[in-house]
Amino acid sequence: MGVNSKALVAIFIVLMVGLSSTRVLDDYVDDYTTNSIKNAALTYATARGINALVSMMQSSEIEAGIGVVSGSMTIGELLDPLNDMIERFSTVMTWVLASLAAQKLLLLLASHQLFLYLVAVLGISALLLLFYGPLRAQSLAFRSFLVVVFIRFALGLAVALNSGVDALFLDQQLQRNDAEIESFQSNVIGIESDEKLEAGSIRDSALAFWQSLSLDELERKISRGIENFINLVAIYMLKTIVFPLGFFYAAFYFIKLLWRVELNVTAPA
């Protein structure tokens, strides 16, 4: 890959240094990642709350009033699939939160003042070598500048593109499933979300509610909850793990291309 115009290279370097100093996209991507971490943490907390409630109820028994089942059965028999799903969801959400925290850290590093100074120093060095240095040093300095500038902007652009994909395809589904998960805890035990009850009262109210429903109704509620957790796993995996891994693979490939850039510049006539 060759670059032939010294004037165009100089203009490009100046523009990139100036653009880097304006901190374009930095505030936007910082707000986006912060909100993503908060939303994921709230979803994780809700799931753990349901898990705690399930664990509290699993040793209890329901008499035969819930349908055609005779005798008694433990709630754990009904809640085991839901409990297993929540445990797996919690594991995924741990990785999701770790991925979001790592992305935020990388974005903070790429927008840090020292990194901006590095872009400026490499840009000035590339400019000086462009006019006064040997060809080999020109190419090396320009390659280094390109790689650092790419790192400076690529993470922010990736987050911006990810937010665009969210807005077009994922946000509505994520909000709907989040809302259903938030209401699932109160709906499945028959307690309104604004009721303030002690732990024992919650358990008694839940047992009374379960006694009032048929087995089919309970299984339908649990199946719906499991479906919502599965949907959230798929959405969060795409948003925070699959897309970032795809970006890092593409970024690594693009950096290798940038490192092959060769300058063969001429002064303007």
> Residue 267, class by beta-carbon neighbours within 10 Å (0-12 exposed, 13-18 middle, 19+ buried)?
exposed
Residue 30: name the closest of 151, 160, 195, 211 by CA.
160
In this prediction, residue 2 carries a pLDDT of: 47
Among all chains, which residue has been given the structure tokens 């840009």?
123
Return the DSSP state at 168: I
Q: CB–CB of 197/208 below 8 Å?
A: no
- What is d(CA 227, CA 176) in angstroms, rounded to the nearest whole number? 12
Q: What single-letter DSSP state applies at residue 213?
A: S
Euclidean distance between the first and the last CA atom of the chain, given in angstroms as a whole number: 23
What are 268's two structure tokens?
A: 């303007």
The first and second tokens of residue 188, run together, are 């499945």
3 forms bridges with which residues in the sheet? 263
pLDDT at 210: 65
| Residue 77 contacts residue 59 (beta carbons within 8 Å) | no
DSSP symbol at 3: E
**Separation between Cα atoms, residue 52 and residue 204, nearest integer Å:** 15
CB distance 189 to 209 below 8 Å: yes
For the chain, the structural domain boundaries read 2-59+84-201+220-266
List the chain pLDDT tens, one digit each, 269 residues: 445 578 888 888 999 998 888 876 788 888 888 888 998 898 888 888 888 777 776 655 554 344 444 444 556 677 788 888 888 998 999 999 998 898 888 888 888 888 889 999 999 999 988 888 788 888 888 889 999 998 888 888 888 888 877 777 777 888 888 888 877 766 655 555 445 545 456 666 666 666 666 667 777 878 888 888 898 888 888 888 888 888 888 888 888 888 887 776 654 54
